[in-house]
Structure 1
Amino acid sequence: MAASVQGGRTGNLPAEANSFIGRRAELAVIAGLLGTERLVTLTGPGGVGKSRLALRAAHAARVGLPGGAWLVELSELRNPDLLTNAVAQATRLAEQTLRPLLQAVCEHLEGAPVLLVLDTCEHVLDECARVVQELLANVPQLRVLTTSRQPLGVPGEQLLTVAPLPLGERDDAVALFAARATATVPSFALTDANRAHVAAVCARLDGIPLALELAAVRLRGFPSDRLLEGLGSRFDLLVSPARPRPARHQTLRTAIGWSHELCTPLERLLWARLSVFAGGWDVEAAEFVCHGGPLDAEEILALLASLTEKSIVARDGQESPVRYRMLDTVRSFGAEWLTGLGEQEAVRRRHRDYFRWIARQGETEWLGPGQRMWAERLSAEHANLRLAVDECLTAPEPETALELTGSLWYFWFACGFTEEGRAYLERALRRAPKEGGPEHTLAVWAHRLVTVVPDDLEAAESVSAAYVWLAEERHLPVPALPLTGASLAVRGESARSAVLYGSVGQAPAGHGGAEFFQLLTLALQAYLLAGQAAFERCAAVAERLRAECAERGELWMRAWGDFFVALSGIGLGRAEEAVRHARAALAAKWRVHDRLGAAAVADLLVAAQAARGEDELAARLLGVSRRLWYAAGLPQLGRPDRTVFHREYERRLRASLGDARFSEVAGDGRALDPEAAIALALGGALDASDP
């Protein structure tokens, strides 16, 4: 075979310029695919390392290929008609012939298993697809490995999306940066003292290998502690002073700009407008926020698909509705273009208004069968909600911030973000006049609601007055709300709280906050009865709460009903019933992303399992409970030296199991990740159905 051996070696693969870091899983996948498939394409955004990964995979595959492994670099090729010439030249086809050149290349590659690597196909995509299809049809033992920012679209093509490097302090992104930094500045060393800072630099650059290598080079002139600060203008900072890398990789701006040049004008416009999203978005959000001018809403789905094919946008999982995201580096490039277009203010305002509408829709539908959907949707949109709130807080009209932060009361209160919600509400209220319309009333009400959970419960005693204002604005019946009594009860003043509690019959009718407080009234009554050890009455009220919630398809408040039924079961010596209801409460809390509530229910499960005599399981769940408090973002509540509950049950279980065994099983529980911890606590599959 003419192409088999040249200059004493098989193929034309260049030597690797420096050490190869990570990608073991990807290399294994590529090796497997090349063993069974004939065309493999590595896709991904610019600078993610497709070319280097393909070269490494080709070096590994060459050992078993008598016909060799041949690299065809296409980045400098501007005329698609010369693609076949580039393949002929790279594979050392020296024959001059009057036959069609592609036919000659096919014959040149015949005879033994051979690998052809076509690197950087996206700008000559159609011709690459044609040539590859012809080669595969006529060279039976040929394997083709391509790199491209979008698929070739050839039948039988197998795709592998190359992601950025993992970002943990001991993961590949940090290892790559450290290796390149040491090569650049020999005095550099990765230590425990600078590891977190290096990890922050890597995270700021999305773990993109090109960006990490360019950043490492900058250590020649930048102190490492200032590098992160300089990355705010990353496209200007990350410029390579060396020339060996391809022109498209000389700077990060050029690498991303290469993708930009491959886009149509409408794709570029959509890319720029999508840069206002934080975290991700779905099609509905993109259509609302990004339409306008030459870009019709009806075109956005097709343009999103095209940007996804070109590795500018990525699908975020397979869930429905489909969500999309961009790397922060790609987003920053689009944001620069949006500013250049003079559209930044208008598009950010549409983003803000869309999420104001989402917040209002969620409030309307929260107490119903869509509650889990809304919890998941708002959790997915958390970063966008924060951005919208921040935008409202800079708007000249203070009412927009009051309305948005107030409308999200159910998200702050029920989904585990009370501290964040309180901080936002305080900022909104500081900007607003002391007295005002319904937006001000709503924000005051929401702010005082979220103070029920944190330690400063005295502020909660004015919730009743705030709700009176809100009810008057919304023309609802005005109840005597029980939060003053709840505040007193939590401080241990049970007798006084019972006097101030008020009647359940005074609960308001209506929707939104009014309906929520109707249920909250029952939950607080159960709470107060439990505090007075009136467990039969507590269970009866809690069952009524569960029934009221079941009618609405509501999960979050119903979980508190299960909680109090379980608590009453422990008090009445019905441990099996307590475990069933506690598990139902935990499943529901986890489904609606209430991590704080899940941690509290996990504590109850410790007591329930201990009451059953399952001391080892109770000890393991005590470790799980501490793990969940950390997951809730309140580690101090899960520390054994801070929590009376934990101290008491640790003492009991240590006495029962012995110090060594207790420490072992509690440590096992604490070591679990949150999902595994929940699975252990539930004793099986996640299920929020009736016990």
Structure 2
Amino acid sequence: MGASVRNSRRGNLPSESNTFVGRGSELARISSLWGSSRLLTLTGPGGVGKSRLAVRAAHAAQAAFPGGVWLVELSDLRNADLLTNAVAEATGLTEQTLRPLLVAVCKHLDDGPLLLVLDTCEHVLDECARVVQELLAHVPGLCVLATSRQPLGVPGEQLLSVTPLPLGEHDDAVGLFTARATAAVPSFALTDANRADVAAICARLDGIPLALELAAVRLRGLPIDRLLRGLDSRFDLLVSPARPRLARHQTLRTAIGWSHELCTPLERLLWARLSVFAGGWDVEAAEFVCHGGPLDAEEILALLASLTEKSIVTRESHGVAGRYRMLDTVRTFGADWLTGLGEQDAVRARHLDYFRWTARQGEAEWLGPGQRMWAERLSVEHANLRVALEQSLAAPERETALELTGTLWYFWFACGFADEGRGYLERALRRAPEHVPGHTLATWAHRLVTVAPDDVDAAESVSAAYVWLAQERHLPVPALPLTGASLAVRGESARSALLYGSSTQGPGGGGGAEFFQLLTLAVQAYLLAGQGAFERCAVVAERLRAACAKRGELWMRAWGDFFVALAGIGLGRPQDALVSARAALEAKWRVHDRFGTAAVADLLIAAEAAGGEPERAARLLGVGTRLWYAAGLPQLGDIETTVFRREYARRLRAVLGDTAFAEAVREGRGLSPEAAIRLALDGTPDGVPDGDRDSAPGGADL
């Protein structure tokens, strides 16, 4: 493999959206500290630039961390108990594991020197300290860069206080203001004539970057001298004669307040109502959640554009079209204003209603042509879903939480958030008696995301819970595929075959009925393959593919492709198997199913080896190792000790020799996610599959 593959970077750092100005001494200090400390915390007040400095430092440090540089943004995390989940999600670890998640994260990150950036820790400080201490103790190659308004308090922590930018006509504060002013008004230029006014503005704002950026935008409507006079008069109103200088945090709030005053009444109202969102929103969500009273839904798009012009709202330019967000400090100001208006309960209730509706729509359309779109959409809305879930768990109507947590079964189960789903479902079930509507759905969903491979009792409990759900909703009760699998594990294959006799009959329905009908075929194919009945396995898998094709469904159809490929290997048709396995892999990758991606990658090892491509098979052995750990598995032991891997390692080593085999495995394990998928799809590590994503499932690289 070429150097371009071996040196591929791993991580999820965002690209820097505008020019970085100054901070040369801080960047040098951060770089020097990696040799003496594994935990560095950037401290300072809100708006002083900690997050931007951390991202810049992380970009600069990538060469020193071949294991990857990972950013975990915590500002939208409202529940400290989900901090480990946030780390897992950001670093590409699927939560489909029954081990303690922190143990799985430690194992996942134990892959050479890597850097974890925890941004905005102060509101989850205690949990951050606990998790960081555990990670540093169990992952020797890990370094952590944190940003917080106060230290984490972990032994060995190094602190770097981030202060406002230096003032003066030739210093960084003037440089930042000039850069942002030029971006806002391309005709603006720093000259000898206006340099003193710019320096005075920077001094008035104490060199705080966020305040400087907000002020620079005002040049779209004001000349520089008017901007300075406006700042003077606005700030003088809030400063007593006994305090000629403002404290830094008061300066920032005043700067934001000044921007607030320059908004129209409807813009202020929208700003306040938008503060209930976490992680951003689209126009449809804003129209539903924020309309009411003097604010018509039809006005919201124009008002969003106006707030964007004023830099109160940021329109995301990558990944998701038509999506907006606010900086945490700006959002906090809006939330305080919303509380002052007395509207917080009503707007939060509309937020909950909107995401309940979103969850129901996703469930209704999951087994259809919109499946990939829903996987993407719910991953993007993950922070908002968490806010809605917390709101539902605080609501007096206990059925609200049961319904929302249960309806999201497909998100928990298929998109890699089983651990988080279990937590929410358990909380909802604990607070509601069995007779409450939605209890059966939540019970079934909880058992579904708790089942582990080869766990007979858990498999039977899922089927039993589905029977209750089908009866409660007056749906046809299909045969019980998981019970059939359980019987097969116990050696009762004849009886299990009888259970599958008419399993595909009956219409679909809500609450997973169609899902279970398709799963019946998948498990039947699995059982037949396990018995070596590959011809019959292929027939059943083709029926599964046909049933999914009628719905335009990808996720379950990929399992049909998987079993067709498995049958092809068993029947000695490796080239046919490759075609089906690659189709399965691309579908699993597209719908964010890391578990399925890893399983198909293993199947491709066998197909490539059988097709006479031992070197490629060995590289895929390395790829598969990474994919399995990214999936939070194995649940029942070390992936390297499985019979499959031991056997293929033995075969491939015998063909290639020890040195070539070890090098191929190492290269496969070191590939970036996109290169790994490309290697599996067409044998080359260059580029990405058609319809590629900016990141792997869940918004982060594997």
Alignment TM class, shorter chain as reference: 0.5 to 0.7
What is the 5 A alignment of 1:189-200? 199-200=117-118
How far apart, CA to CA, are the structure 2 residues paired with 1:217 and 1:601?
41
Per the alignment, do residues 644 and 389 of structure 1 end up closer, same or farther by CA in structure 2, a change over 3 Å counting?
farther
How far apart, CA to CA, are the structure 1 residues paired with 2:471 and 2:148?
64
Q: Per-residue displacement from partner, 1:45-65 (whole Å, max 9, x unpaired)?
A: 96559xxxxxxxxxxxxxxxx
1:350 aligns with 2:238: no
Q: Partner residue of 1:474?
A: 473
How far apart, CA to CA, are the structure 1 residues paired with 2:148 and 2:389?
38
Q: Per-residue displacement from partner, 1:309-353 (whole Å, max 9, x unpaired)?
A: 223322223456411222333333333333333333222221111
Query: Counterpart of 1:324 in 2: which secondary structure?
Result: strand
Identity over aligned residues, as a percent? 66
How far apart, CA to CA, are the structure 1 residues paired with 2:528 and 2:148?
66
Q: Partner residue of 1:487?
A: 486
Q: Partner residue of 2:270?
A: 270
TM superposition shift of 1:275 = 2.1
Q: TM-score, normalised by structure 2?
A: 0.64
Q: Partner residue of 1:136?
A: none
Per the alignment, do residues 246 and 648 of structure 1 end up closer, same or farther by CA in structure 2, a change over 3 Å counting?
farther
What is the 5 A alignment of 1:235-634? 246-248=203-205, 249=208, 251-252=248-249, 254-255=251-252, 257-263=254-260, 264=263, 265-318=265-318, 321-437=321-437, 439-453=438-452, 456-489=455-488, 491=489, 493=491, 495=493, 498=496, 501-505=499-503, 507-512=505-510, 513-634=512-633
Q: Per-residue displacement from partner, 1:98-134 (whole Å, max 9, x unpaired)?
A: xxxxxxxxxxxxxxxxxxxxxxxxxxxxxxxxxxxxx
Residue identity opposite 1:468 in structure 2? V
Residue identity opposite 2:581 in structure 1? A
Query: Counterpart of 1:164 in 2: which secondary structure?
Result: helix
Of structures 1 and 2, the larger Rg is shown by 1
Query: Counterpart of 1:278 in 2: which secondary structure?
Result: coil
TM superposition shift of 1:418 = 2.4
Residue identity opposite 1:300 in structure 2? I
Residue identity opposite 2:259 in structure 1? L
Q: Per-residue displacement from partner, 1:381-423 (whole Å, max 9, x unpaired)?
A: 1221122112212222210111011111121222222232222
What is the 5 A alignment of 1:656-667? 656-667=655-666
Residue identity opposite 1:411 in structure 2? F
What is the 5 A alignment of 1:163-202? 164-167=52-55, 170-171=58-59, 199-200=117-118
TM superposition shift of 1:563 = 0.3
Residue identity opposite 1:164 in structure 2? R
How far apart, CA to CA, are the structure 2 residues paired with 1:428 and 1:411?
17
How far apart, CA to CA, are the structure 1 residues paired with 2:115 and 2:674?
29
Per the alignment, do residues 637 and 323 of structure 1 end up closer, same or farther by CA in structure 2, a change over 3 Å counting?
farther
Per the alignment, do residues 498 and 475 of structure 1 end up closer, same or farther by CA in structure 2, a change over 3 Å counting?
closer
Residue identity opposite 2:203 in structure 1? P
How far apart, CA to CA, are the structure 2 residues paired with 1:542 and 1:223?
53
Per the alignment, do residues 644 and 343 of structure 1 end up closer, same or farther by CA in structure 2, a change over 3 Å counting?
farther
How far apart, CA to CA, are the structure 2 residues paired with 1:495 and 1:288?
53
Per the alignment, do residues 416 and 168 of structure 1 end up closer, same or farther by CA in structure 2, a change over 3 Å counting?
farther
Residue identity opposite 2:509 in structure 1? H
Query: Counterpart of 2:25 in 1: which secondary structure?
Result: coil
Residue identity opposite 2:386 in structure 1? R
How far apart, CA to CA, are the structure 2 residues paired with 1:197 and 1:593?
24
**Please, which moves more after superposition, 320-329 or 491-500?**
491-500
How far apart, CA to CA, are the structure 1 residues paired with 2:418 and 2:319?
28
Unaligned segments of structure 1, at least 5 residues:
1-14, 23-44, 50-162, 176-194, 207-214, 232-236
TM superposition shift of 1:510 = 2.4
CA contact (8 A) 1:579 1:609 kept: yes
TM superposition shift of 1:294 = 2.9
TM superposition shift of 1:612 = 0.9
How far apart, CA to CA, are the structure 2 residues paired with 1:218 and 1:420?
28
Residue identity opposite 2:446 in structure 1? H
Alignment RMSD (CA, Å): 3.8
Per the alignment, do residues 239 and 633 of structure 1 end up closer, same or farther by CA in structure 2, a change over 3 Å counting?
same
Per the alignment, do residues 294 and 320 of structure 1 end up closer, same or farther by CA in structure 2, a change over 3 Å counting?
same
Per the alignment, do residues 492 and 313 of structure 1 end up closer, same or farther by CA in structure 2, a change over 3 Å counting?
farther
How far apart, CA to CA, are the structure 2 residues paired with 1:412 and 1:282?
23
Query: Counterpart of 1:276 in 2: which secondary structure?
Result: coil
**Partner of residue 19 from structure 1, selected from 12, 25, 38:** 25
Q: Partner residue of 1:686?
A: 689
Query: Counterpart of 2:277 in 1: which secondary structure?
Result: coil
Q: TM-score, normalised by structure 1?
A: 0.65
TM superposition shift of 1:569 = 0.6
Per the alignment, do residues 327 and 668 of structure 1 end up closer, same or farther by CA in structure 2, a change over 3 Å counting?
farther
CA contact (8 A) 1:279 1:384 kept: yes
Query: Counterpart of 1:404 in 2: which secondary structure?
Result: helix
How far apart, CA to CA, are the structure 2 residues paired with 1:17 and 1:279?
27
Unaligned segments of structure 2, at least 5 residues:
1-20, 29-45, 65-112, 125-145, 169-201, 209-246, 692-702
Per the alignment, do residues 270 and 481 of structure 1 end up closer, same or farther by CA in structure 2, a change over 3 Å counting?
same
Residue identity opposite 1:483 in structure 2? L
How far apart, CA to CA, are the structure 1 residues paired with 2:495 and 2:404?
33
Per the alignment, do residues 292 and 642 of structure 1 end up closer, same or farther by CA in structure 2, a change over 3 Å counting?
farther
How far apart, CA to CA, are the structure 2 residues paired with 1:551 and 1:497?
30
CA contact (8 A) 1:47 1:255 kept: no
**Please, which moves more after superposition, 349-358 or 382-391?**
382-391
Per the alignment, do residues 247 and 540 of structure 1 end up closer, same or farther by CA in structure 2, a change over 3 Å counting?
same
Per the alignment, do residues 624 and 266 of structure 1 end up closer, same or farther by CA in structure 2, a change over 3 Å counting?
same
Question: Number of matched residues?
Answer: 502
Query: Counterpart of 2:118 in 1: which secondary structure?
Result: helix
Q: Partner residue of 1:12?
A: none
How far apart, CA to CA, are the structure 2 residues paired with 1:518 and 1:291?
41
How far apart, CA to CA, are the structure 2 residues paired with 1:595 and 1:243?
50
TM superposition shift of 1:267 = 2.5
What is the 5 A alignment of 1:121-140? none
Residue identity opposite 1:19 in structure 2? S
CA contact (8 A) 2:452 2:635 kept: no
Per the alignment, do residues 546 and 407 of structure 1 end up closer, same or farther by CA in structure 2, a change over 3 Å counting?
same
Segments of 4+ moved more than 6 angstroms: 15-18, 195-198, 202-206, 215-219, 237-245, 635-638
Q: Per-residue displacement from partner, 1:289-319 (whole Å, max 9, x unpaired)?
A: 1222332222211122222222332222345
Residue identity opposite 2:354 in structure 1? Y
